[in-house]
Amino acid sequence: MVRTRFAPSPTGHLHIGGLRTAIFNYLFAKANSGEFILRIEDTDKERSREEFTQAILEGLKWCNIEWDEICYQSERNEIYERYLDKLIKEGKAYRCYCSKERLEKLKEEQLKRGENPHYDGHCRNLKDYPKDKPYVVRIKLPEEDIDFFDHLHGDMHFSYKEFDDFIIRRSDGSFMYNFTNVVDDIECGITHVIRGDDHLTNTAKQIVLYRLFGKKPPEYAHVPMILGEDKTRLSKRHGAKSVLEYRQMGILPVALVNYLLRLGFSYGDKEIFSFDEMIRYFSLDRLNKSAAVFNPDKLIWVNFEHMKMMPPDKLLGYLRPFLDEACLSFDDGYLIEAIKTRQTKAQTLVELADEIRFYCKPPEDYDKKAIKKYVKASTKEYLALLLEKLKDADFSSEQALEGIFEDVLKRFDIKMVKLAQPVRIALTGRGIGPGIYEMLMVLGKDETIRRLERFLNVVF
């Protein structure tokens, strides 16, 4: 069975680079009827925070990235100790008592000789271990080159001379990233690892550990990093935000996942994917080898497309947190009809909430520029006649409402804009809004008449 994992460190909020990694691993698992594992790498006691762990979980759940299992590295120390003892007993790892001063002096001497700094194996063959002296644990690096296949980069080769006897446990007893990473992947039965190409060197070290444990490593796919528009590594200065900040901006989770998927994945010219399509089409051979550039405007466009496609009742579920108390006091049926009139115009949930607010709360004032442009002295007469006719109108039929407007237009020999725009201002407070007839049908006869009467009293 295919088993993938996402292994964030709770030392900060979940950002889009990490979310994209989770998306790739989740989709690959589900596309192959496999399982997706979430591993919280919380061994950094100083920087790890429970609030960040909860933010990571909340962000993944919001994006519908559902894990089949979850584990916390902080609860797995006994497992790491067991694997470490095995390496030491088999002579594949050893205690190193070298002081910080000795290591710094060694580094200076190597640099003077034009060498890359590396550990010289001073403690490799110690037979008598000093008592009560701090130590780290290092591996005994085999003199074997490291080769592995990567689904994006092809055959990878590292000379063992590029590495030294790297540390796998610190002097304070905590374990190093590469060690815990390998132990956990072995224990969890991880078959495929998809992650950023900044981990290629780590992968080479991890291959060494797999060999020392006598275990087969997973298959790897190292994807290019996401770049900002200046082609440097993506950061906040490029407009990138944490995952939950995008929720606050009014981005739909499917839109964010869709956009991040396209930053490294392609399926012909297709831009917009449903969740089901993402799973159906995902495969490692469709991952891109070149780095993608994050474009906030393109994300908004993708969100716009998903908002247009989403069934109004489902969209309402996402819209609720952005609605004020006035709107939430109305029943779902009314709000759904209101959403239908504006969901093809708003780019975010924030905009959509603003667009339909007038349905729930009459305008307190009217846009002065719109008034100046569209409301004249003669407008009062047009609206007065329209108001009288609307009192006997059938508000369940656009055709009936259209007939009433046409009667008024013929009576005064005017164009639609001279009547429709003042009506729109009266109902919404603004010069822009939904189509006149659909707007009247949602508001209903009583509310439409109340607003028109107030407008006539206030403006004229």
Tell how strand 192-196 and strand 219-223 pair up: parallel
Q: Which of 61, 105, 161, 236 is catalytic?
A: 236
b/e map of 415-433 (b: 16 or more CB within 10 Å)?
eeebbbbbbbbbbbbebeb
Q: How far apart are CA 138 and CA 152, in angstroms?
A: 31
Cβ atoms within 10 Å of 33's Cβ, excluding its own: 8
- What is the number of residues in the chain? 460
Amino acid in position 259: Y
The closest alpha carbon to 22, from 52, 67, 54, 58, belongs to 67
Q: How far apart are CA 172 and CA 302, in angstroms?
A: 48
Query: Which token pair is 425?
Result: 């201002």
User: Is residue 236 annotated as part of the catalytic site, yes or no?
Assistant: yes
* 3-state DSSP assignment of residue 44: coil
- Rg over CA atoms, the chain: 32
Q: How far apart are CA 444 and CA 331, in angstroms?
A: 14
Q: How far apart are CA 113 and CA 398, in angstroms?
A: 87
Query: Which token pair is 327?
Result: 């709107």
The closest alpha carbon to 427, from 402, 456, 401, 404, belongs to 456
Q: Cβ(193)–Cβ(165) under 8 Å?
A: no
Residues whose CB falls within 8 Å of the CB of residue 95, separated by 6 or more in sequence, listed in order: 88, 123, 126, 129, 135, 136, 137
> Nearest-5° angle of CA 231, CA 205, CA 283?
55
Strands annotated E in 25-72? 35-40, 69-72
Q: How far apart are CA 440 and CA 398, in angstroms?
A: 9
Tell how strand 136-139 and strand 146-150 pair up: unpaired
Q: How far apart are CA 34 and CA 448, in angstroms?
A: 56
Cα of first residue to Cα of last residue in the chain, in angstroms, is 74
As annotated, the active-site residues are 236
